[in-house]
């Protein structure tokens, strides 16, 4: 029996995807889409916004004109799987919003390999710029009222897991590139990076495939620990890094932490390591004790006084 291009594999990257010679992409993980909803138990409400590029979460309102910090969250998945609209990430955002009492925007970016990097970065930046427009715009027919009425834009946080943490770092670099790229009143005070997906000084076939236009092993989006100048100019006041004992990328998180401390950056950085666990264990087992410890530290981080 003669094989056809539909059967022949051109590129194979478990646990993410394989590409066949006819161009077809087969993902090893297909997320389960969940609709936005209102939770009667927690009072958290959600809806999809900005042409379905993000899901917006509003905590329970207990006072008129109540204002909350804003969390902009970016999901992981190797740049090629998962979604802001997946069951797992939707539940996790509901939990963060309930416990931390923040308004949250969960970004949904286009996935590689059909949409190679840097598309995910540009999509995420577009959502952040859309959110920043609400600081000064007053027309409720144009703006999103949950943001306009209930966000304290002087307390904005960025957070993400795995590849999402990689994207979050790049968003902070972009926000720090000029004095006020997002306008007056939109202040990113901190970022939380959970189980970072960065490259290192070794060739990486996967990263080269999903990011064909990168500048190589020293690309600042894949290996930021080599770029002290960019790190030293970050505008946020504090950074919280999470890693785990068994994470294959643990060393890259430690290198990023050390580089931040050596770069001359004036903010506060903390790293928290979970013993005995692997990459993104908190999403795979969100009800386990150690996931609860991670969640508590994350919530405390968003609620600390600046």
Residues annotated catalytic, as ranges: 162
Strand partners, 18: 12, 26
Per the CB < 8 A criterion, the answer to whether 168 and 197 are in contact is no
Sheet containing strand 268-274, edge to edge, reads 45-49, 54-58, 103-107, 68-74, 151-161, 188-194, 238-244, 268-274
The 8-class DSSP code of residue 59 comes to P
Q: How far apart are CA 302 and CA 131, in angstroms?
A: 18
| CA-only gyration radius of the chain, Å | 19
- Helix (H, G, I), strand (E, B), or coil: what is residue 306? coil
Contacts of 270 (CB under 8 A, 6+ apart): 238, 239, 240, 241
- Helix (H, G, I), strand (E, B), or coil: what is residue 208? helix
* H or E stretch covering 91: helix 87-100
- Locus of tokens 């955002």: 93
């Amino acid at each position: 029996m003669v094989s056809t291009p539909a059967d022949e594999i051109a590129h194979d990257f478990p646990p993410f995807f394989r590409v066949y010679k006819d161009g077809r992409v087969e993902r090893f993980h297909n997320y389960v889409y969940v609709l936005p909803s209102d939770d009667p138990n927690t009072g958290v409400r959600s809806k999809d916004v900005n042409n379905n590029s993000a899901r917006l979460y509003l905590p329970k309102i207990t006072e008129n004109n109540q204002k909350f910090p804003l969390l902009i969250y970016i999901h992981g998945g190797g740049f090629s799987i998962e979604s802001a609209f997946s069951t797992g990430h939707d539940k996790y955002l509901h939990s963060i919003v309930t416990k931390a009492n923040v308004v949250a925007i969960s970004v949904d970016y286009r996935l590689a390999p059909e949409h190679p990097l840097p598309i995910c970065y540009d999509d995420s930046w577009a959502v952040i710029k859309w959110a920043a427009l609400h600081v000064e715009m007053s027309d409720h027919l144009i703006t999103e009222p949950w943001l306009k009425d209930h966000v304290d834009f002087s307390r904005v946080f960025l957070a993400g897991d795995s590849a999402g943490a990689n994207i979050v770092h790049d968003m902070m670099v972009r926000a720090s590139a000029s004095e006020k790229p997002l306008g007056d009143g939109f202040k990113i005070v901190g970022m939380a990076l959970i189980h970072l997906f960065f490259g290192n000084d070794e060739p990486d076939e996967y990263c080269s495939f999903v990011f064909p236009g990168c500048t190589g092993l020293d690309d600042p989006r894949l290996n930021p620990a080599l770029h002290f100048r960019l790190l030293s100019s970050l505008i946020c006041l504090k950074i919280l890094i999470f890693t785990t004992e068994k994470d294959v990328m643990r060393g890259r998180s430690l290198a990023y932490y050390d580089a931040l401390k050596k770069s001359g950056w004036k903010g506060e950085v903390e790293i928290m390591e979970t013993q005995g666990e692997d990459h993104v264990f908190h999403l795979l087992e969100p009800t386990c004790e150690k996931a609860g410890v991670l969640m508590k530290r994350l919530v405390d981080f968003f609620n600390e006084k600046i």
